Chain A
Amino acid sequence: MTHTEREHWGSALAAADPAAVTALAGRITARAKVEAMAPPREGLMLLQMRDSVAGSPFHLGEIPVARVHLRLMDGAQVAEGGAVLMSDDLARATQIAVLDAALAAGWREAPEIEALISAGQAARARTEADRALVLDRTRVDFQLLSEDDA
């Protein structure tokens, strides 16, 4: 059983091998009927953030967002899932929503989906470590600057 919270499944699957995600979602949709719970949406959304000093909200800019909410039906088995991706790739968001639904309902592909999530999380961890390294080089200690001036 996976220890990852459901809210992180999507980001992990987005970082996993795209071909493996496509293949697995394809196998599930080959036997299950897919029905939209809401219209799949793809477009630009305003990204709101908070500044780190006063904590006041501001709009960073527009980002592409793809959003899918669907239901799988395989005979009597019903599974509901969704995905929101920072991407304009609606097909990919649909595949991830299918995997989300199948895993949440504990369908027989669940172990394979968990494996993909683990792989995706490992990939994300590597990216984040690389970025942290780059970011660290840009760190400035303002206290030291003022001591130099004195």
Chain B
Amino acid sequence: MSVIDLPALWRPENHQALFRLILDATARPGQGADLSPHLGGAHAALGALATFCDNTQTLADLTGTLTDADWRFLDVARAPADQAAFILAQGSDAPTFQPRLGTLDAPEGGATLIVKVASLTEGQPLILTGPGIKTTTSLHVTGLAPDWLTARARWCADFPMGCDMVLADDTSVAILPRTTKITEG
């Protein structure tokens, strides 16, 4: 016996693979990334958290879906939504919180929102433009309350300050960095 066998989601090689998929999706906003080969059956939102969280970070779970075991494995401190570096939220519930937006000197302090949605392949398309997108691209999403888009537009109005969104359905993610402009198609 050397080291304990871990569930797939918590193995370093899967964190590397998840990160590369997430990085690619961040560099190309709106382009979905199928995380399922590296999740071991877990939700894609938990996959994104597992990629980024450790005992130096803070997380607010507004969905109440994280189990005790999830918290232990994430090894992340709990914080209220207005102070947390990462926020896990339910897309069907309109946002009622104010996330961290960073400062002009340190905009990287803006929160990363991980929002669970019903599907990233169906629904009315959102038209996206901005860095990472050649001309325009469309993102299909269901299970995201319309208030999210108005709240996001308000949070990201003063570049470089803002917050970055990871939309996650069961198996895949699409990412909206603060620079992406959204119009409803």
Indicate whether B67 reaches chain A with its CB closer than 8 angstroms: no
The chain A residue with its CB closest to the CB of B71 is A38
Which residue of chain A has its CB nearest to the CB of B6?
A: A36
Establish whether residues A94 and B75, one from each chain, have CB atoms under 8 Å apart when the complex forms: no
Instruction: Please report the C-alpha to C-alpha distance between residue A41 and residue B6 in the assembled complex, in whole angstroms.
Output: 12
| CB atoms of A39 and B6 under 8 A apart | yes
| Number of A residues with CB within 8 Å of any CB on chain B | 18
Within the assembled complex, what's the spacing in Å between the Cα atoms of A35 and B6? Answer: 8
* Interface presence of B73 (CB below 8 A): yes
Which residues 1-33 of A have a CB within 8 angstroms of B?
25-26, 29
Determine if A94 and B72 form an interchain contact, defined as CB atoms under 8 angstroms apart: no
Size of B's binding interface in residues, CB under 8 A: 12
Nearest CB of chain B from residue A34's CB, rounded to whole Å: 5
Interchain nearest-CB distance for B4 vs A (Å): 5
Partner of A90, one of B3, B5, B7, B10: B3
Residues in A with CB closer than 8 Å to B4 are 34-36, 40, 68, 70, 94
A40 — which chain B residues lie within 8 A by C-beta? 3-4, 6
The residue among A39, A41, A70 with the most chain B CB atoms within 10 A of its own CB is A39
CB-defined contacts of A90 to chain B, threshold 8 Å = 2-3
Chain A residues, CB < 8 A from B106: none
Q: Which residues of A contact B (CB under 8 A)?
A: 25-26, 29, 34-41, 68-70, 90-91, 94-95
